[in-house]
Amino acid sequence: MHKKSFITAAALCVAIGIVNAQTYPLDPLTAGEITKVTTILKDNQLVTAATWYNIINLKEPPKKEVQAWQPGTPMRREAFVSFYDYARPGITEVVVDLNTSKLVSTKTIPNVIGMGLEADSLAAETIVRNDASYIAALKRRGIAIDDVVHRTIFPTDLGLAPIGHREQLVIPHLQNNRVDIEGLLVYVDFTSKKVLKIVDESGRFSDRVDLNYFNEDSIRDTRKGPAPVKITMPEGSSIHLDGQAISWANWRLRFGIDNREGLVIYNVRLMDNGKERSVLYRGSMPEMVVPYGAPSLLQAAYNFFDAGEYRLGQGIARPMTPGADAPENAFYLPATLHREDGTPYELRNAVAIFEEYGGTLWRHGTVSRRATNLAIKYYTQIENYDYGFTWRFKEDGTIDVDIELTGIVEVQGVHRTNAMDAPDKNDLSYQGHSFGTLVKPHVEAINHQHFFVFRLDMDVDGDNNGVMEMNSKAVPAGTANPYGNAFYVEDTHFMNEGQARRNINYESARCWHIMNPSVHNALGQHTGYMLMPGSQAVPFMPPGTVVRKKAGFLDHQFWVTQYAEGEEYPAGRYPASNKVYDGLPQWTAKNRPIGNNDIVVWYVAGITHIVRPEEWPVMPAHHMGFSLMPFGFFSENPTMGQANPEFLKDLHPNPAP
């Protein structure tokens, strides 16, 4: 039997010299702490057996408090809890002091809807199966109620129930058939346990289809891949872990898994000639939205806020596959998450931390240096889609954030069987154009977009930072530019939040310089980091539509806010709610100063996905993202003087096969 080449948490102490971790104010809740929280709530008679938990999370201490904390001294340890009971409208929020086992605060919010629950589908089954009108609608399609199963989504502002009632749109499909029964939807009020309305569009597709839907339990390998590329580390790893803290090369940082946001990066610092310099206090992806592009009620409501509505699927999270989701030299660490009944569980192989070959660090002539990166990766599955999030730390001080999209694309049933056929009169179309790509006969993958919002609490050489927008501009032809080739960079220093609501402009190579106005390098430049956008998308939904009102962060791709406790979620804490709005537009309307303040940068990364037939039944991984690059943080290339690994001296080119 061969030894496993990957390393799990149990082997870390041998593999990388892990030491006993010191407790830190930002460490995620342990299983024991989650259990303690639910016990305290029960003891205070706040919850019952009918309670469902939206979130049980660490309530992070105030930033100044964390920065002032010293190892070995007392620290605040609190949990934030949001829970729901089907019998009552709204949700309840509680803060629990884990040091004293006391309640800090209790608040009932009657007008909001909490997060999606697995229990919603069970509740929906009970209600719709007893509704005669719905059973009749199925019968008109030749379908018996016992042949149907259901899933649910939030209607948000399209809802009909009283504000604060837990309302869902119930979507039927035939058992063992993953295409919905098109044109049939049911508005259900879970609070009153009533069917509010049945949407019944005749003529839409409702037949059973052989769509070759991916089933992980029946996957079979039928061919051999190329010769394996195996990573070896003869001198061991340079990664050092101390609890949630990571040291590697000149980088120092912490990480955690948040029960809503997933992977969070904390307290990023760089060692520069023996001096520790701050870069980023906290980085995360606190919200995303996936709007779909077909003009039906279902697709209008099919705009998933996957963090705020479904906490990135972490209630049913799946572990990573060593060697495939991350390389075989990765260290795989567990995370403590919770089920919707409040039970904690350990997700094994939740986080992968590894060193990777980074290509060429720099080169000129025959002199070149090999690059190595530190990578921290987290995967999550949200229903049909899988998303990977990798934070990559480079030797030159660059931080690359990579988003990996894979999994199964969303499909709908249609009458056509050939892409050259015109859309059927009973299928959705516009002037002969369909709203998706045919991936199997009668199966259309729907046009859609993905938008990911990153919250970057930048602390470049200290808390107080500012942002300058950089636009490259041509000098007008004339005496100042006699040959027509001159261009310059125009810097605009944002002084308030309103000025910093900005969008990508590739024509001017627009990027943003996050700098410390009070610290300069040896050349007199502000020390800073440049946010370099990657590929992008703009929303096709016009302002005023349901998703644009909820996802106000889509109004711009770049935002800056003055740091404020509680401003964490760019679409608000409960985006599933009906006609409840919060987030970046509301916060930046305060127009607070940001010229030399503790600031938070928000970047909205987007992609428009027109599905290819090659992306069925499973989508090959697609990558997108952005970079944070030192700009004036150093006075020259910080990797000068760095040697190549010793083994390269004896390496000779392989002859051609």
* Structural domains of the chain ordered from first start: 12-109 (3.10.450.40), 118-208 (3.10.450.40), 273-310+383-630 (2.70.98.20)
- Residues of the chain with pLDDT > 90, as a percent, come to 89
The tens digit of pLDDT for each residue in 437-485 reads 999 999 999 999 999 999 999 999 999 999 999 999 999 999 999 999 9
pLDDT of residue 17: 35
Question: φ, ψ for residue 221 (rounded to 5)?
Answer: -85, 120
The tens digit of pLDDT for each residue in 95-109 reads 999 999 999 999 999
Task: Check pLDDT > 60 for residue 21.
Answer: no
pLDDT of residue 14: 34
The tens digit of pLDDT for each residue in 639-649 reads 999 999 988 88
630 strand-pairing partners: 529
Q: What is the mean pLDDT of the chain?
A: 94
| Contact criterion met (CB below 8 Å) for 112 and 574 | yes
Residues 280 and 287: their CA atoms lie apart, in Å, by 19
The tens digit of pLDDT for each residue in 578-599 reads 999 999 999 999 999 999 999 9
Residue (of 458, 486, 504) closest to 631 by Cα position: 458
HEC readout, 382-445? ECCEEEEEEEEECCCCCEEEEEEEEECCCEEECCCCCCCCCCCCCCCCECCECCEEEEECCEEE
Alpha-carbon dihedral sign for residues 116, 122, 125, 126: negative
> Which DSSP state fits 59?
E
Residues 114 and 159: their CA atoms lie apart, in Å, by 15
The tens digit of pLDDT for each residue in 242-251 reads 999 999 999 9
The identity of residue 477, as a single letter, is A
Structure token digits, residue 393: 């730390």
Mean pLDDT to the nearest integer, 264-271:
98
CB contact burial 562-590 (16+ within 10 A = b; e otherwise):
bbeeebbbbbbbbbbbbebebbbbebbee
User: What is the chain's length?
Assistant: 657
**Burial, 625: exposed, middle or buried (Cβ in 10 Å; 0-12, 13-18, 19+)?**
buried
The tens digit of pLDDT for each residue in 302-349 reads 889 999 999 999 888 889 999 999 999 999 999 999 999 999 999 999
| Contact criterion met (CB below 8 Å) for 92 and 112 | no
Residues 72 and 25: their CA atoms lie apart, in Å, by 11
pLDDT of residue 12: 45
Residue (of 548, 540, 542, 539) closest to 581 by Cα position: 548
